[in-house]
Each structure stands twice: as C-alpha cells, then as structure tokens.
Amino acid sequence: MNIAPGALSGLRVIDLSRVLGGPFAGQILGDHGAEVIKVEPPAGDETRHWGPPFLDGTASYFLGLNRNKRAIALDLRQDEGRAVLMRLLEDADVLLENFKTGTLEKWGIGFETLSERFPRLIHCRVSGFGADGPMGGMPGYDAILQAMGGIMSVNGTDDSGPTRVGLPVVDMVTGINAVVGVLLALQNRQRTGRGDFVEAALYDSALSLLHPHAANYALSGKLPQRTGNDHPNISPYSTYATKTRPVYLAVGNDRQFARLCDLIGAPGIAQDDRFASNGGRVTNRAALRQELEAAMAELDGAELAEKLIAAGVPAGPVLNVEEALAHPHAAHRGMTVDIDSYRGLGAPVKPQSAPPSYRSKPPQFAEHTREILSEAGFSDTEIQQLISTGISPETRQI
C-alpha cells in the first residue's frame, strides 16, 4: 500500500456531500493527500444502503467513493449542528457540498456568510442545473442529465432507441470538474489570498461531453444520429466479430488501415476503391464491415487484438469487468487497490513525485466522531452532550 505524502498533503476538506459527484471529488482530493472529513446527516449518506453487495453493512456503492476520509455525522438542521460545522471550518481550506441551492443560505451559512468569516475558504458546490437560469436550483440526477443533455440521443442503435450510458458518466465527470474547480481556486488563492465559490453543475458537464457530435452539428447543421458502437466520423472504428470474442478497431488513418488488412490476411480490402480513404470507408461502412468480418471469421479475437496493437494498429478485445480488472496491466498501472477487506479502483492520475496514497478504507458511519470533535477543541463533556442529544450521532449500523 502506497502511503507517500500526496500533492495535496496539508489541505483540509470538509465534505458535506452525498451520493456520487461530491463524494467522488472528495475521494480524489483524499487520494492525493488532502485530509477529508466526511460529514453525513444523522440518517447517513443514502448510498450506504444502495446494495447488495454489502461489506459490514455498508453498500459497495458507498465504498467505491469514500476512501481516505474520516467520518462524523451532524444534524445541520439544528443550530448546535451548524455551530459544530463552523468550528470544523476554522482551519479548513475547502468546503464541498451538494445541497439543493438555497439550503445553506436558508440556514444562514451560504457562501456570502462563510466568506466573511472564512475569507480563504474555497466553497465548492456540486449541483444539478446551477443556481439560476430557467432550471436553476432544480435537482439533477445522472440519468436525467444524460437524457436532457443529448447523450442518450447519440447512444444506442435504431433498434434500442436512445440508451443511457451504462455507468454514471455525468456524475463522475462532474466530480472531476469539481476537483478542477477547487484546484483552480487554490491556485488563484495563492495569488489573491482569498477563497472563492466554485459550482460544478451536472447540466454543464453533460453538455461538455457532446464532442464530436456538437461540433459536427455546429458545422453541418445535421442532427447527430445513433450509430451504436460506430464512430460518426471514422471507419473502421467499431466492434467487429471474430471466431471468439469481438474486438474493437480504432483505425484513424490510411496507413493503419492498410496494415490492418495485411495482418488479417486480406490486403485486397485496402486496395478496394470504396475503402481507399476514410471518407469512403465511412460512406461504405456496412460493406466494409462485411469484408473485415469475413476475413476475421476464423481468427481468435484476443490474439488478434494483441497482434494488431503490437503492430501499431489500435485494437482491443471486448472484456467484461472481471477480465478488465484482472488484466496484468491494470495491476501494473496501480488501478486496483486492496486495503484490508476493501477493494477499489486506483486513482488514474499519478504525479511522479507525489503519487496518490491509499491510507484508509471507507469509514463506517460517524466512525471518527470523538477524535474529530476533540481535535476541534470540544471537551469530553461537550462531546458526550453532542452525541447524547443526537446533534452528532456516534457510530451505529444505519
């Protein structure tokens, strides 16, 4: 387990967020050395229940987004709970939250109030649609934004109809955008000495993912269509059948195409006038598919993909999740993490001089209540009072 100090060592983050985008951002900051305190409501982050599977009563969904954090629970609906939060923010650099727009303001702890009391604090909000505009303040969910953001319209086939991408891509990209925003604000704080407000909206993130479809539409005026696994601008750029498993070919130029045809034993395909250029291959993609799949019909997909990519032709076998995680290159790249009984995905960004560190597995509910409150200056008597009144519940199964 790598425990070297990360690039963000010394940064303190108070993470009030729940579900996905915000917690994912907090985990990224924690992976790179930030001290992250996860503050949950008394009922806990709802993703603790989003299973099976479960580990010690906590769902895998939560486990995948909350390592490298210490946990406390606070009832922020109560004055006493908000007072504890203010104590936690006294030496914090970043406040991360995804409350519905106006909630913190209603409680008297919106950005304007916080920035007066903590002028160096960076307040990052993950929201659905942003604070203003025709849909400002409305809640957002990944699948809804895939639908409204045009992503579903270009995903799927004529038979399937518009199809949701099979993972929460909008939520996760919004989490990454939140981290980018925090890092930009930290850099600006170095220059100005002041914090800032950063908002990462699912709506904005969804629209930002529309390349190249938005660029194609802006130039041609033609509405992008569903193309299944095909690339709208390049061919062959799709999945193709072999004797065993399908392979994905991503051939970007004529040289690669000629090399592909040689390696599958069908050099004549590259000499066909219909396929002489990328434009011709896109126009005649159905005929090209027939030719390529006929040539690959007796070839082993995994072996072919390995042979092609080694020869400079972009290709890969279509693996399932188990196969992808078990691939030796996944381990070599540090993309799998084991901490005690916890298994997770590694951080994809790895500065050479300050690599990510995996210091602790995801916390149990309110696991670190007493130590966090003690560090914030509360006496044992005050801590017991906060626990007994439910302002800051102690560890329990939820």
Catalytic residue among 171, 196, 204, 230: 171
Q: Which amino acid is at 352?
A: Q
Cis amide bond preceding 236, omega within 30: yes
What does the alpha-carbon distance between residue 362 and residue 93 come to, in Å, rounded to a whole number? 22
The residue behind tokens 């007066």 is 116
171 is catalytic: yes
Tokens in use for 173?
A: 């990209």
Cis amide bond preceding 53, omega within 30: yes
- Whether the CB-CB separation of 141 and 211 falls below 8 Å is answered with no
- Whether the CB-CB separation of 201 and 131 falls below 8 Å is answered with no
Cα 249 vs. chain centroid, distance in angstroms? 26
Q: Return all residues near 199 (Cβ < 8 A) that are at least 6 apart.
A: 124, 125, 126, 127, 130, 131, 181
Catalytic positions: 171
